[in-house]
Amino acid sequence: MTYLIGLLSVVFLVLAIMIVSKSIALSKGIQGADDSDARVDGANNGNAFGFLVFLVLGSIAAAWSFLHSQPDFLPIAASEHGLKTDQMFWISMGIVTAAFFLTNTLLFVFAFLYRYKKNNVATFYPVNHKLEIIWTIIPAIVMAVLVFTGWRIWRDITKQAPENAVVIEVTGHQFGWYVRYAGNDDNKLGNQNYKLIDDTNQIGIDFTDESSFDDFTANELHLPKGVPVLLKIKAQDVLHSVYLPYQRVKMDAVPGMPTKFWFVANKSTDEMRAELGKSDFNYKLNCTEICGRGHFGMAITVFVDEPEDYKAWVAQQKPFLTQNPDYLAKVPEKLKGKAQKYVPAEAPAAESDSTQAAAGAAPATASLRR
């Protein structure tokens, strides 16, 4: 790319020198030189052919740049809406590119054909209403179709997620992601409260909500293929941005303002590995909002599983409450019966706050009696 830029710079410099030299010659001709007509014709011919050279070289450079940049284009789309947005993008690019080359070809060819010639007489052509209507209505119709089509795709992406969508919460923090799943029983995420955050409960799961009892967390993101997935996106500190390039998912994570994005992944990790010929390939979830010094490492592995494999993986996961039975003490007394099923039998039974208070007061009472 650097070589191409250097070459174009040299070409433009040569053209600029030619134009300046022709301008000097033209000024001398105007001042009364005998060969002024020849000099004027020479200058105009030089400029006219320069336009054609620029058109050809510019078109070649544009085509080369496009082909050379293809490895850096977005990767293969691996979601249903991604296929639609990619199709819309390339249709728009095709229309815009065709209009670009058409208008610029006319611009440079007309400059060549209608350059100054001594015996040419210009035609006075002030207005043509029919022509103006044509070049106004056609672009307006094309633009309206593109806008309407794009709006329909965006409407489908941003509408409410289907009722059978798998609900997953992704919370950004400096510098990583917390992933919480809705569990095996109710497919509902429990409430969350930042005031409940501690060294273990790092996302502030609220155990006064019984929907939290079966929630579990993981260090990786698992998605079922062909099933709607609703990502509930949050941030704990600064702006982050959830980005799944293959699934064409991008949504900001904003502190204090939950966002969401639902989609359907249509290619499993194994299928993508086979298509790319890379046995070690994995999808990634990255942060695309510069959020601090550790931003570059803010990524987690994403697995797109077949539906039955996803169910098997979820079934193997233990709820947060099962792995941390001490949090049973945070459960209201009236819900402890429901929460108890998630606590291992060998774990000590959690005591209510009133029982703990009474137990704490008993030794003090005994010491006073003594």
- Does the predicted model carry a pTM greater than 0.95? no
Average pLDDT on 344-353 reads: 55
**In-domain check, residue 350:** no
**In-domain check, residue 242:** yes
pLDDT of 322 above 70: yes
What is the model's pLDDT at position 24? 62
* Res. 202 pLDDT band, cuts 50 70 90: very high
Residue 185 sits in the same domain as residue 275: yes
Residue 325 sits in the same domain as residue 183: yes
What is the model's pLDDT at position 126? 84
What is the model's pLDDT at position 4? 64
Tell me the per-residue pLDDT of 116-141, one tens digit each, with 9 for 90 and over: 777 778 788 888 899 899 989 999 99
Token code pair at residue 72? 């850096």
Residue 209 sits in the same domain as residue 305: yes
Residue 330 sits in the same domain as residue 211: yes
- Which of 96, 117, 138 terminates a domain? The answer is 117
What is the model's pLDDT at position 43? 76
Range of lowest pLDDT (20-34, 199-213, 248-262)? 20-34
What is the model's pLDDT at position 32? 52
What is the model's pLDDT at position 116? 79
Tell me the per-residue pLDDT of 22-73, one tens digit each, with 9 for 90 and over: 666 666 555 554 455 556 667 778 888 888 899 999 999 999 999 999 988 9
Give the domain range for residue 173: 166-344+363-369
Contacts 24+ apart (CB under 8 A), 49-56: 49/112, 50/15, 50/18, 50/19, 51/108, 51/111, 51/112, 52/108, 52/109, 52/112, 53/15, 54/15, 54/108, 55/104, 55/105, 55/108, 55/109
- Which H/E stretch holds residue 357? helix 353-369
Count of structural domains, the chain: 2
